[in-house]
Amino acid sequence: MPICGHHTAPKFNGKPEGLHRFFSEVEYLDDSDWEIWRSSGDAADRDDWEAFKTCIGKLYPGSDNERQWCPSDLSTIAALQSQTPMLTKDDLGVYHRKFLIPANRLLSKNSVSTQDVGRDYLTGFDPSTCQKIKDRLAMVHMQHHPDDPYTITEIYTEANVILGTSTPATLTTSATSPTVSLTTPAPVKTKSADTVTPPG
């Protein structure tokens, strides 16, 4: 483990959402946080690490991450993403990872169903890409009822196919093809075979 103060040593940022990571990595404290922890009577008198963490957690409401996400956050993330065209696999990866963080958390708490998550996830694609994905899903999953939402895995798989076989030009309606101008050569005049040239 790096020594205290080393640039590679992880630190507690003082924010509730960072407390869990601090405990998992045994991070170092800023002076202000150290003073609070040291002066906490309950924390100072305990040798039990788990009890110590519980006590310190009470100083940072929200550090348990129990209410960090709510179901409406999924539709909010999707709505914001849908305003930006999905042109590459990198774009897809960024959206996918950002959406999975709250989705997995909410699923683990049974706050949402896989159907709800899949429905919200699909709305995160811009209209053009979304329609391509729907067409692809319908072709691959022919037995799937159209009223039933697809899972994230199914949507993500077909989105990868769509974006892997497309270029920004084919995904953007404003793209135009270059115009090629062809010039027709002038006809070549030849002498007729029965034309008689008078002597000079």
Q: Is residue 197 part of a domain?
A: no
Average of per-residue pLDDT across 184-196: 51
Higher pLDDT, 171 or 97: 97
- Same domain for 133 and 58: no
100: exposed, middle or buried (Cβ count in 10 Å: 0-12, 13-18, 19+): middle
Mean pLDDT computed over every residue of the chain: 74
What is the DSSP secondary structure assignment for residue 11, as one 8-state letter?
B
Determine which of 63-67, 68-72, 187-191 has the lowest per-residue pLDDT on average: 187-191
pLDDT at 15: 65
Span 18-34, average pLDDT: 61
pLDDT on residue 28: 59
Q: Count of CB atoms within 10 A of residue 186's CB?
A: 6
Query: Is 184 part of a structural domain of the chain?
Result: no
Long-range residue pairs from 124-127, CB within 8 A, at least 24 positions apart, any chain = 124/77, 124/78, 124/79, 124/81, 124/82, 124/95, 124/99, 125/81, 125/82, 125/86, 125/159, 126/82, 126/83, 126/84, 126/85, 126/86, 127/82
Banded model confidence at residue 23, pLDDT cuts 50, 70, 90: low
88 and 28 share one domain: no
Q: Are residues 61 and 83 in the same domain?
A: no
Name the pLDDT band for 55 (thresholds 50, 70, 90): confident
What mean pLDDT is predicted for residues 169-183? 40
Most confident of 4-18, 52-66, 179-193: 52-66
The total of structural domains in the chain comes to: 2
Residue 58 is predicted with a pLDDT of 72
Residue 182 inside a domain? The answer is: no
Same domain membership, residue 100 and residue 42: no
Same domain, 49 and 8: yes
Stretch 110-122: mean pLDDT, rounded?
A: 94
Q: Range of 153's domain?
A: 72-167
For residues 81 and 155, state if they share a domain: yes
**In this structure, is residue 196 part of a structural domain?**
no
Out of 27, 49, 67, a domain closes at: 67
Three-state DSSP at 28 gives strand
Position 76 in a domain? yes
Q: What is the mean pLDDT of residues 82-89?
A: 94
In this structure, the answer to whether residues 63 and 78 fall within a common structural domain is no
Q: Are residues 87 and 155 in the same domain?
A: yes
Q: What is the pLDDT of residue 71?
A: 92
Q: Are residues 53 and 85 in the same domain?
A: no
Evaluate if residue 181 carries a pLDDT over 50: no
Tell me: do 82 and 39 sit in the same domain.
Answer: no
**What pLDDT sits at residue 87?**
92
Provide the pLDDT confidence category of residue 167 given band limits of 50, 70 and 90. Answer: very low
Q: Which of 10, 42, 67 is the last residue of a domain?
A: 67
Is the predicted pLDDT of residue 5 greater than 60, yes or no? Answer: no
